[in-house]
Chain A
Amino acid sequence: MENSQTESNRENNGGFSSPVDSEHKATKLRIQSVAAPHMRAFHLSWISFFACFVSTFAAPPLIPLIRDNLDLTSTDIGNAGVAAVSGAVFARIVMGTLCDLFGPRVASAALMLLTTPAVYCSALANSPASFLLVRFFTGFSLSTFVSTQYWMSSMFSAPVVGTANGVAAGWGNLGGGATQLIMPYVFTLIHHIGATKFTAWRIAFFVPAVFQTLSAYSVFFLGQDLPDGDFAKLQKSGDKHKDKFSQVFYQAITNYRGWILALTYGYCFGVELTVDNIIAQYFYDRFHVNLHTAGIIAASFGLANLFSRPLGGYVSDVMATRYGMRGRLWTLFLVQILGGCLCVLLGRLGSLSTSVTVMLVFSVFVQASCGLTYGVVPFVSRRSLGVISGLIGGGGNVGAVLTQVVFFRGSRFKTETGITLMGVTIICCTLPMMFIYFPQWGGLFWGPSSKGITEENYYMSEWSKEEQEQGFHKASLKFANNSKGERGKRVASAPTPLEGTPESYGHV
């Protein structure tokens, strides 16, 4: 009987329905399951992130109506597009901090509920300025990316963390493509029921708004921060140390790897956001397809996220089992540079069919790079996982803002030249990856440190001697032990916790 099978599974897995490691993180990603806490957290994160993407990009497919209703110019539309992605730059860093301090469940539910008013009030916009403001504040919801990655990194163990991060983020990003199909359909339905065009698009915005609200409620009531419980409960019972914001923040910003990854992420995810904004227009203007066809091409770029970002995360995990962290880094480096080359090529093609083909291949490479990046991120810091994830995620949005402002605003460059130059920038901004070095595992061109620095040394260096004496670092210690697989040999995670704390070698 299925019940006894699940019961015996639970006994084998220490009370969990998935197999777990010493931190009780799941070591397998079972997508067909919704069992608490791991798989339920997985489904809640990707669905809520999907809802936020739908809200943030709900306006673009309806622009032909909104621009007539609000008397917008091309400049107004461009500015609103930049505003939609720039709000999240700061919000992602804030979200990272909130995750470290309060846990992903409360942080993401709170942020979603705080931004739904902006989506509801999109129905009230009556000028270019008010339109820009609602897009700006709605864009803050894209910071749920950080809580998604944080939650997955807390629930899933090193061998599957890349895959979990990649699938959750990829399926969430799908929202950006799905909305290009959903919103016009909802609008047409409402228009047919009897509303005039200029009222129907306003009513249509209630759909993403309600979806986002319901997602927030689900996360709050059905989710759980960590495999062993929620932050608040664990903090009060003393099982989890309530960390100090200043220390968490300091450890994050002084870790140079976070800054390099923020730059490289700006040129995979930032490029993805830019392309989402400009590609329909590009095909419409250069190849004279009609608006509908251009919209479908734009949607397919976003919909490739169904498999390409998860593929990146999965490949990262596969490379790690054989080659460790160096495998993760090399794969990211090569895939992103190849993506840049494809982008250079895309701008130089003059025929519709080859352009669409190259665009689709380019989308796979650029989205896989995003997945590969977040295969590395969970290992950069344990104490400040949230802020680091937020910094890097924010870097993605900065890349989008910069790229759009420099290459795709006004008439300085033709769009195809802008695309080629964007490709060159991708290649140049991926090169700094050469400087990322983990002393315990190595970097692109160097192996692990000959001083014998271990995972424990690296993660303990985030805690001061006094903090270690009070035992605040215990969770980091477990994580360090579980991350030994990143050495690239088949090292199984220890099932029981270690005794004692090794000496720290100072901040490495």
Chain B
Amino acid sequence: MAASTLLFVASILLSSFALSCNASGTFSALQKSILLTSSPKSGQVLKAGEANITVTWSFNKTYPAGTDSAYKTVKVKLCYAPISQKDRGWRKTKDELKKDRTCQHKIVKRDYKPESDSVTWTVERDIPTATYFVRAYVFNAEEKEVAYGQSTNDGKKTNLFEVEAITGRHVSLDIASACFSVFSIVSLAGFFYLEKRKANASQQK
């Protein structure tokens, strides 16, 4: 009796885990029902902190009506193209969305509207130098991904653009580094001179 209750409870738990696994989402399970375009032309280089990107997205009407009934919010993100993921495990693409690190920079979060929506975004100063595309994820009321759209093709080969990051260097920093370095070497020379003088003085005593 106790064993069968245990088995029952275990199977309930296991099946709910299975359900939640499906619900936690893989990329391949998402509907590609959003049409998205971004302003940078293919191969264009944008300067971080200065250039603008205009992203426009809308529901793809070729999908049956009512597909978007569960859509609640949209997150538009800047994503790494395969060439910028190579030999960089921290940007790896994984099908399981929780572990996927392709899209690390948020552009905007908006409520879902079936008509067209757009945003103009200035490329932030901490965006690294890399090749990118734009993707929008659509979330339902439970904050789970249900659909997406992107500015490139499925192979992520077309319509990619680049961002040129700030160096982070400043002339004042360069000068400070140089001064401190020179000072270290000069003081070392001073120490050798002091050492020699002390040794000579003690010899004369």
Q: Which residues in A have some Cβ–Cβ distance to B below 8 Å?
A: 64, 67-69, 71, 73-75, 106, 109-110, 113-114, 116-117, 120-121, 123-124, 126, 196-199, 201-203, 206, 209-210, 213, 216-217, 220, 230, 232-233, 235-237
Given contacts A110-B188, A113-B187, A114-B185, is CB(A126)–CB(B169) below 8 Å?
yes
Q: How far is the CB of A348 from chain B (nearest CB, A)?
A: 23
Interface residue count for B (Cβ, 8 Å)? 35
Inter-chain pairs besides A67-B88, A117-B185, A124-B174, 9 sampled, C-beta below 8 Å: A68-B126, A73-B86, A74-B89, A114-B188, A126-B167, A199-B169, A230-B195, A233-B198, A236-B202
One of B87, B181, B195 near A106 (C-beta < 8 A): B195
Residues of B within 8 A of A203 (CB): 173
Output the nearest chain B residue to A105 by Cβ-Cβ distance.
Answer: B195
* Contact B173–A220 (Cβ < 8 Å): no
Interface residues of B: mostly helix, strand, loop or mixed? helix
* Contact A69–B128 (Cβ < 8 Å): yes
Docked Cα-Cα span, A67 to B168, in Å, equals 13
One of A69, A73, A116, A220 near B184 (C-beta < 8 A): A116
Docked Cα-Cα span, A209 to B180, in Å, equals 9
One of B88, B176, B191 near A73 (C-beta < 8 A): B88
Docked Cα-Cα span, A374 to B131, in Å, equals 51
Docked Cα-Cα span, A109 to B195, in Å, equals 12
* Contact B184–A213 (Cβ < 8 Å): yes
Docked Cα-Cα span, A64 to B90, in Å, equals 9
For residue B42, CB closer than 8 A to chain A, the reply is no
* Contact B181–A117 (Cβ < 8 Å): yes
Residues of B within 8 A of A198 (CB): 125-126, 165-168
* Contact B87–A236 (Cβ < 8 Å): no
* Contact B181–A116 (Cβ < 8 Å): yes
Instruction: Kindly supply a per-residue 1/0 record for chain B positions 125-139, scoring 1 wherever the CB is within 8 Å of any chain A CB and 0 otherwise.
Output: 110111000000000
For residue B170, CB closer than 8 A to chain A, the reply is yes
Q: How far is the CB of B154 from chain A (nearest CB, A)?
A: 25
For residue B200, CB closer than 8 A to chain A, the reply is yes
One of A196, A209, A232 near B168 (C-beta < 8 A): A196
* Contact B177–A121 (Cβ < 8 Å): yes
* Contact A121–B202 (Cβ < 8 Å): no
Docked Cα-Cα span, A81 to B123, in Å, equals 32
Q: How far is the CB of A377 from chain B (nearest CB, A)?
A: 28
The residues in B between 113 and 154 inclusive whose CB is less than 8 angstroms from any CB of A are 125-126, 128-130
Docked Cα-Cα span, A230 to B196, in Å, equals 12
Docked Cα-Cα span, A68 to B124, in Å, equals 14
Docked Cα-Cα span, A66 to B89, in Å, equals 15
Residues of A within 8 A of B199 (CB): 232-233, 235-236
Docked Cα-Cα span, A126 to B174, in Å, equals 12
Residues of A within 8 A of B174 (CB): 124
* Contact B89–A237 (Cβ < 8 Å): no
Given contacts A73-B86, A202-B173, is CB(A117)–CB(B126) below 8 Å?
no
Q: How far is the CB of B109 from chain A (nearest CB, A)?
A: 21
Docked Cα-Cα span, A210 to B177, in Å, equals 11
Given contacts A198-B167, A209-B180, is CB(A74)–CB(B195) below 8 Å?
no
Q: How far is the CB of B77 from chain A (nearest CB, A)?
A: 16
Output the nearest chain B residue to A210 by Cβ-Cβ distance.
Answer: B180
* Contact B173–A124 (Cβ < 8 Å): yes
Docked Cα-Cα span, A220 to B87, in Å, equals 45
Q: How far is the CB of B130 from chain A (nearest CB, A)?
A: 7
The residues in B between 76 and 133 inclusive whose CB is less than 8 angstroms from any CB of A are 86-90, 125-126, 128-130
Q: Which are the 9 A-B pairs with shortest beta-carbon distances? A: A198-B168, A117-B181, A68-B128, A73-B87, A232-B199, A113-B188, A236-B203, A120-B177, A199-B168
Q: How far is the CB of A105 from chain B (nearest CB, A)?
A: 9
Output the nearest chain B residue to A64 by Cβ-Cβ distance.
Answer: B90
Residues of B within 8 A of A109 (CB): 188, 191
The residues in B between 42 and 89 inclusive whose CB is less than 8 angstroms from any CB of A are 86-89
Residues of A within 8 A of B125 (CB): 196, 198
* Contact A123–B181 (Cβ < 8 Å): no
Given contacts A116-B181, A120-B181, A232-B199, is CB(A196)–CB(B128) below 8 Å?
no
Output the nearest chain B residue to A232 by Cβ-Cβ distance.
Answer: B199
* Contact B181–A202 (Cβ < 8 Å): no
One of B87, B168, B192 near A202 (C-beta < 8 A): B168
One of B170, B185, B187, B196 near A199 (C-beta < 8 A): B170
Q: How far is the CB of B12 from chain A (nearest CB, A)?
A: 26
Residues of A within 8 A of B196 (CB): 232
* Contact A233–B202 (Cβ < 8 Å): yes
* Contact A113–B203 (Cβ < 8 Å): no
* Contact A121–B181 (Cβ < 8 Å): yes
Docked Cα-Cα span, A43 to B196, in Å, equals 26
Given contacts A69-B128, A114-B188, A120-B181, is CB(A202)–CB(B90) below 8 Å?
no
Residues of B within 8 A of A69 (CB): 128, 165, 167-168
A-B pairs with beta carbons under 8 Å apart, 7 shown? A68-B165, A73-B87, A106-B192, A110-B188, A113-B191, A116-B181, A210-B180
Given contacts A64-B90, A124-B173, is CB(A116)–CB(B180) below 8 Å?
yes
Q: How far is the CB of B170 from chain A (nearest CB, A)?
A: 7
* Contact B88–A117 (Cβ < 8 Å): no
Docked Cα-Cα span, A230 to B194, in Å, equals 13
